[in-house]
Amino acid sequence: MDSTSLAERVDEITFQKPYFEKDGISIFKDDILEITSIPKNSVDLIITSPPYNIDIHYNSHVDDLTYEDYLEFTQKWIAKCFDLAKSEGRLLLNIPLDKNKGGQKSVGADITKIAKDTGWKYHSTIVWNEGNMSRRTAWGSFMSASAPYVIAPVELILILYKDSWKKTKGSKVNDITKQEFMDWTNGVWTFNGQSKKGAGGHPAPFPIELPTRCIKLFSFVGDTVLDPFLGSGSTLIASYLHGRKGIGVEIDEKYCNIAIERLQKGGNLNQVSLLK
């Protein structure tokens, strides 16, 4: 019979060591649906660009669920994020407006409804005009009224909150400039996306500029920021550079290592500890 006590087994399950941990930044090689290492009601700001379900080949899996399965998966991880967020927690989702692969789908509207049904409250939407977004081109019946496709070369940043929009807790220390505040509260952001090469080959990276703006505009210095689909690590780099605690969850070991490498280079985290 196993002599390990129930309390010891529960402690082992609940407090798994991070894959990487240094200077307030933690990476967990885990599935956001399964992870137990992040306490409930502990996160101030969640920023992520979830899998888009547009047949992108990631390292360890293919992102090609049926749309119905994709929405079911989306509901599960958004509910998990709701549990992890503080009462004044905020959720910022970088998602497509729509998709035309396998039929026209109103991705942005569908995910907004799922989030609201899960308990998140809707605040507003930022439109990201990504100047180099060539992968969003769609013609359909070229130069014919037969069946043309119209698709906007933009993505959304959906802004939601848990219980209260106004932040009354935390350090209340801001690091945003007057010009940044004026520019970024304009609901249309225009800047280029991140190249795969610049993000270690990740198939759907987002530029550090995106989480940087979100972090400075929607969180205080010292807040805890979570990215449940860390990918190549942009959210954690921005968190570290701007004095936030950062937690990243990434199921793929290859991208955990890419994120660590990018943190060492872009975030200047030297003499890091790598826990496996």
Q: Is the pLDDT of residue 38 over 80?
A: yes
CB atoms within 10 A of CB 149: 12
Window from 56-65, 111-120, 200-209, 222-231 with minimum mean pLDDT: 56-65
Instruction: Give residue limits of the domains in the chain.
Output: 16-274
| Token representation of residue 141 | 């019946």
Confidence of residue 111 (pLDDT cuts 50, 70, 90): very high
Kind and range of the H or E run holding 264: helix 253-266
**What are 109's two structure tokens?**
């509207």
Q: What is the pLDDT of residue 99?
A: 79
Summarised one tens digit per residue, pLDDT across range 242-262 is 999 999 999 999 999 999 999
Give me the pLDDT at residue 1, please: 44
The first and second tokens of residue 50, run together, are 């979830």
pLDDT tens-digit profile of 143-201?
788 888 777 788 999 999 999 999 999 999 999 999 999 999 999 999 987 554 444 44
For residues 110-117, average pLDDT: 98
Is the pTM here over 0.75, yes or no? yes
- Edge-first strand order for the sheet with 20-22 is 188-190, 121-129, 155-161, 85-96, 43-48, 224-227, 245-250, 25-29, 20-22, 273-274
Identify the pLDDT of residue 274.
Answer: 40
| CATH 3.40.50.720 for the 16-274 domain, yes or no | no
Confidence of residue 92 (pLDDT cuts 50, 70, 90): very high
Position 270 scores a pLDDT of 58
C-alpha–C-alpha distance, residues 263 and 248, integer Å: 12
CA distances from 200 to 173, 203, 204, 261 (A): 33, 9, 11, 9
Whether 33 shows a pLDDT value over 80: the answer reads yes
pLDDT for residue 269: 65
pLDDT at 11 over 90: no
pLDDT at 98: 87
